[in-house]
Structure 1
Amino acid sequence: MYTNFNHVPYGYGYPYGANPYNPYSRYAYPQAYGTPANYYNYGVRQPVRGQATWTEGGEVTKCGIPWSNNRYMTAAVGQNSPYQCGQTIKVKNMANQRVVLVTVVDQVPNYPENKVNLHRKAFETLGASVDLGVINVEITPNPQLEEEKWGKYLLEIAQSAYPNYNATDYSKVSQTQQNGNVKEVYKFVMESPQEKMSIEGTVIYNPATDRIISINFKEVS
């Protein structure tokens, strides 16, 4: 048994009375990572090493966002963590380097700031067995994606358009002007258990009205 294990139960201090869901942590696990001094520098895409548990989700969330959002690629974080409701964060399994992009759907008091509670489907997407209960992860905030609302919008469409794949990374390719409209192009890396592929999403919109002119996706090498 590890003497330095200081896991805080997910339901402790839960603001809605009875906790509708609980994380699965069947085995004691070493607290391998502390909280870096620059952890709170939210404006920088600084990776933070911590741990992830998993949950089946529940009906009530503080963010008002269902666990089924983003095809269950969702997570809960500590109330005092720098991650905000609706924010996209990248979680990497340190054991196999697999990555998933998840949406923050809940914030819980008294939950460690460098831990995330992933929906079971997101946990399994990282290639982790639910029997492990807890895994070491690297968490990277994506403020760049939050500032690029069309990139996030295209990401949500891509997740739905490729139901057997999960987005694991993204990049903005270009932004140009076209006859008074704006064209933005993003590249997304999509992974399934069998393969990895890249797709390019393009949106053309009127910047004065924010109305979409067209959206297009294509597979790229």
Structure 2
Amino acid sequence: MYTNIPYRFVPHTHPHYYSYPYAPSPYDSIQSVPASYMNIERQQTIQGQATWTDGGQVTKCGIPWSANEYMTAAVSQNSPYRCGQMLKIVNPNNQRQIIVTIVDQVQGYPVNRINLHRRAFETLGANPQVGVLDIQITPSPQIEEEKWGKYLLEVTQTAYPNYNVTDYQSVEKTQISNTQIREVYDYYLQSPQELITVRGTVVYNPNTNRVTSFDIREM
């Protein structure tokens, strides 16, 4: 983890590109955090903006930028979102959406901005030359509450490196026995050419939290 490292802004390459360690642009207006913003419901969609970064080797969350196939992001230290949380990001200009994992925090960064890894920014259909992109941010409360749903999402994203998980839904949760529970999720994956659905199934022992078996298959 890095502390007390001065962030720097690189104005000569891209006007809103934050190098590592990255920081708020001197042209950004640093906003205080309204109490109402900090108390927002976790599932509420807010209007915000996204910048991009190539990331770095160290993060304050201890999660690498390469996690989730680089569908990762940093948020303000004053943000209501926490390390490891998943957020759904939508580009309202073309309705492209992705699910990103929070891997870093930035001191002094505006609370309504999110700093996406460059790959995530481009997956939204945005040209990095744009610099700042208007977006919609929605926390993913279901996947956060369902430990095994998040586990299957990460497995699915890794198994389909040329696709990005854009949405998901819980299909089934069944207790097979005292030592086995089965959970089933559908994940919607987008590539430049197509949209596919992948169903993930995991069977685990609730007493030990160990996986008995798991399976993913295209629908």
TM range (shorter): 0.7 to 0.9
RMSD value, Cα: 2.5
What secondary structure sits across from 1:131 in the alignment?
A: helix
- Paired residue total: 204
What secondary structure sits across from 2:162 in the alignment?
A: coil
- Which whole-Å CA distance do the structure 2 matches of 1:196 and 1:134 have between them? 27
Deviation at 1:20?
7.6
**1:182 matched to which residue of 2?**
181
Identical aligned residues as a percent: 56
Deviation at 1:15?
4.0
- Which whole-Å CA distance do the structure 2 matches of 1:22 and 1:144 have between them? 38
Instruction: State whether residues 16 and 52 of structure 2, in contact with CA within 8 Å, keep that contact through their aligned partners in structure 1.
Output: no
**2:162 matched to which residue of 1?**
164
- Which whole-Å CA distance do the structure 2 matches of 1:17 and 1:30 have between them? 19
**2:107 matched to which residue of 1?**
109
- Which whole-Å CA distance do the structure 2 matches of 1:147 and 1:69 have between them? 20
Gap runs ≥5 in structure 2: 18-24
- CA shift in 2, pair 1:20/1:209, >3 Å: farther
When the two structures are superposed, what TM-score results if normalisation uses the length of structure 1? 0.85
Instruction: State whether residues 15 and 108 of structure 1, in contact with CA within 8 Å, keep that contact through their aligned partners in structure 2.
Output: no
When the two structures are superposed, what TM-score results if normalisation uses the length of structure 2? 0.85
Instruction: State whether residues 91 and 134 of structure 2, in contact with CA within 8 Å, keep that contact through their aligned partners in structure 1.
Output: yes
- Which whole-Å CA distance do the structure 1 matches of 2:70 and 2:4 have between them? 22
Instruction: State whether residues 203 and 211 of structure 2, in contact with CA within 8 Å, keep that contact through their aligned partners in structure 1.
Output: yes
Instruction: State whether residues 185 and 200 of structure 1, in contact with CA within 8 Å, keep that contact through their aligned partners in structure 2.
Output: yes
- CA shift in 2, pair 1:200/1:96, >3 Å: same
**1:208 matched to which residue of 2?**
207
Larger displacement relative to structure 2 (74-83 or 35-44) = 35-44
What secondary structure sits across from 2:130 in the alignment?
A: coil
Q: Report whether the alignment pairs 1:19 with 2:19.
A: no
Instruction: State whether residues 39 and 46 of structure 1, in contact with CA within 8 Å, keep that contact through their aligned partners in structure 2.
Output: no
- Which whole-Å CA distance do the structure 1 matches of 2:60 and 2:28 have between them? 29
- CA shift in 2, pair 1:145/1:209, >3 Å: same
Instruction: State whether residues 25 and 53 of structure 1, in contact with CA within 8 Å, keep that contact through their aligned partners in structure 2.
Output: no
**1:143 matched to which residue of 2?**
141
- CA shift in 2, pair 1:153/1:112, >3 Å: same
Deviation at 1:18?
3.7
**1:5 matched to which residue of 2?**
none
Larger displacement relative to structure 2 (80-89 or 43-52) = 43-52
Deviation at 1:61?
1.2
Q: Spell out, residue by residue over 1:163-221, the C-alpha distance to the aligned partner (whole angstroms, 9 max, x if none).
A: 1101000111110111221000001000111111111100011111111111011112x
Q: What letter matches 1:100 in structure 2?
A: I
Q: Spell out, residue by residue over 1:88-116, the C-alpha distance to the aligned partner (whole angstroms, 9 max, x if none).
A: 01110111110010000011111110100
What secondary structure sits across from 1:144 in the alignment?
A: helix
What secondary structure sits across from 1:39 in the alignment?
A: helix
- CA shift in 2, pair 1:69/1:107, >3 Å: same
- CA shift in 2, pair 1:167/1:208, >3 Å: same
Deviation at 1:70?
0.8
Q: Report whether the alignment pairs 1:91 with 2:89.
A: yes
What secondary structure sits across from 2:69 in the alignment?
A: helix
- CA shift in 2, pair 1:84/1:30, >3 Å: closer
Deviation at 1:122?
0.2
> Deviation above 3 Å: which 4+ runs of structure 1?
18-31, 35-39, 41-44
